[in-house]
């Protein structure tokens, strides 16, 4: 099973690759955000498996998770240094980290779109990425 970042998000993570502590943190944050976003479990499951459906509730879920784990601020701006630190946990090469950040940390029209496309990009480039420590 893949876990996405944002628990759609959550996106961006293979659940088997996560430690028990990471799974627990991500599930807790995901549940809190799911209560706010109202996203269906079906859309979360699809995202966990790499199928990112462009849905307003899923995007809201991803933004919520992203804010709770410190990847974005309240305005939806990407915290590039935090993202770099987390990407470095699954990438050994600094130039590859920079390439991934340049490719994935792109501000979009809305904070929700930014979170959605960032997680989607991270999943496509580094499926074992985890938004939680």
- What CATH number has the domain spanning 2-125? 1.10.238.20
Residue 113 has pLDDT above 60, yes or no: yes
First to last CA, the chain: 19
What pLDDT is stored for residue 53 in this prediction? 95
Q: What count of other Cβ atoms lies within 10 Å of the Cβ of residue 75?
A: 7
Overall pTM surpassing 0.85 (yes/no): no
């Amino acid at each position: 099973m893949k876990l996405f970042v944002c628990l759609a998000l959550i996106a961006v993570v293979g659940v088997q690759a996560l430690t028990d502590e990471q799974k627990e943190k991500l599930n807790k944050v995901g549940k809190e955000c799911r209560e706010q976003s109202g996203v269906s479990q079906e859309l979360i499951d699809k995202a966990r498996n790499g199928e990112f459906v462009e849905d307003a509730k899923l995007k809201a879920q991803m933004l919520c998770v992203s804010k709770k784990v410190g990847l974005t601020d309240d305005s939806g701006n990407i915290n590039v240094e935090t993202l770099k630190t987390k990407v470095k946990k699954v990438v050994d090469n600094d130039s590859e980290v920079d390439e991934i950040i340049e490719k994935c940390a792109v501000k979009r029209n809305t904070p929700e779109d930014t979170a959605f496309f960032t997680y989607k990009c991270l999943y496509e480039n580094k499926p074992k990425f985890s938004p939680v420590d």
